């Protein structure tokens, strides 16, 4: 029996990157998957990737903005209407924002990054945890970042939001553990996703690959992580294999955050 047979997994940011990779991973292990993203095109591509990997998998997609409460209510309602429950929630949608010194990072930019990365994470937790408490079971994985456990520079909005996600994770885990609901987080480092590629374009618009190679030299592994490597950890946390893990924040960064 596969780990997710009969399970329903809800994933925000499911139209690309870590969300897509996780959707493919859990679908291959039997999950029914609800994908949420602001990009209809990205969602369609994710569904195609799932079909290639797991032709029998049941999927639904919901287009929405995770920072808008009505959209969050809509994706939760659509998942429940279709599948009747939510066993796992990968609360993953996020943006990086423009890289800049704090003094040059405008309030509009700051609020925009917090809206998606922190308010969006909170709204997802608010709606999904109520469902899981009523069920008496469930596992949540929030996407934080190494930028949520240490300073990275030039990312005031992103760092503030991801530190907030770590706080939300620990607080919710303490609140909901007695109801059979676990809340953990991942803290990815340099993972080659469209968001990271865009970050490298900010550093060197003419040659982002060169900027990427220079950036990764500080990592003990001397390479970027791949989305499927993150998906493996997320799937573990969503599954019953991690049944006594709660309030944990796991760095997945090749060891970079451990360096002096």
Tell me the pLDDT tens digit for each residue of 210-233: 767 777 888 899 988 999 999 999
pLDDT of residue 18: 97
**110-120 mean pLDDT:** 97
**52-69 mean pLDDT:** 98
């990271």: which residue's tokens?
196
**62-82 mean pLDDT:** 98
Residue-wise pLDDT for 124-171, tens only, equals 999 999 999 999 999 999 999 999 999 888 889 999 999 999 999 999
Res 184 pLDDT > 70: yes
pLDDT of residue 152: 83
Res 4 pLDDT > 90: yes
CA separation for the pair 121, 106 (Å, rounded): 22
Res 73 pLDDT > 90: yes
pLDDT of residue 214: 76
- Would you please indicate which residues are annotated as catalytic (active-site) residues? 158
Q: How far is C-alpha 142 from the geometric centre of its chain's CA atoms?
A: 6
Choose between 193 and 5: higher pLDDT.
5
Choose between 260 and 186: higher pLDDT.
186
pLDDT of residue 173: 98
8 A C-beta contact, residue 154 and residue 101 = yes
CA separation for the pair 4, 100 (Å, rounded): 42
Fold held by 8-189+236-251: Rossmann fold (3.40.50)
Q: In whole angstroms, how far apart are CA 185 and each of 42, 56, 122, 126, 171?
A: 24, 29, 13, 16, 12
Res 208 pLDDT > 80: no
pLDDT of residue 39: 97
**180-188 mean pLDDT:** 98
pLDDT of residue 248: 98
**Where residue 249 falls among pLDDT bands split at 50, 70, 90?**
very high
pLDDT of residue 204: 66
**110-126 mean pLDDT:** 97
Question: Residue ranges of the domains in the chain?
Answer: 8-189+236-251, 191-224
């Amino acid at each position: 029996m596969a780990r997710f047979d009969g399970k329903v997994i809800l994933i925000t940011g499911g139209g690309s990157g870590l969300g897509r990779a996780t959707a493919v991973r859990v679908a291959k292990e039997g999950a029914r998957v609800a994908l949420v993203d602001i990009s209809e095109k990205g969602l369609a591509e994710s569904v195609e990737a799932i079909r290639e990997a797991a032709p029998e998998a049941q999927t639904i997609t919901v287009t929405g903005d995770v920072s808008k409460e009505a959209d969050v209510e809509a994706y939760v309602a659509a998942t429940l209407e279709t599948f009747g429950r939510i066993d796992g929630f990968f609360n993953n949608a996020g943006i990086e924002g423009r890289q800049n010194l704090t003094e040059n990072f405008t309030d509009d930019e700051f609020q925009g990054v917090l809206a998606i990365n922190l308010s969006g994470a909170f709204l997802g937790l608010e709606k999904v945890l109520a469902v899981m408490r009523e069920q008496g079971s469930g596992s949540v994985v929030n996407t934080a970042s190494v930028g949520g456990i240490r300073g990275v520079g030039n990312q005031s909005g992103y760092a503030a939001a991801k530190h907030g996600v770590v706080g939300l994770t620990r607080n919710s885990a303490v609140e909901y553990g007695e109801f059979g609901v676990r809340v953990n987080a991942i803290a990815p480092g340099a993972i080659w996703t469209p968001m990271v590629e865009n970050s490298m374009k900010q550093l060197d618009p003419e040659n982002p690959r060169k900027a990427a190679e220079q950036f990764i030299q500080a990592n003990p592994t001397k390479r970027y992580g791949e989305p499927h490597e993150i998906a493996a950890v997320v799937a573990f946390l969503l599954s019953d294999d991690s049944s006594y893990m709660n309030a944990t924040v796991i760095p997945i960064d090749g060891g970079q955050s451990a360096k002096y």
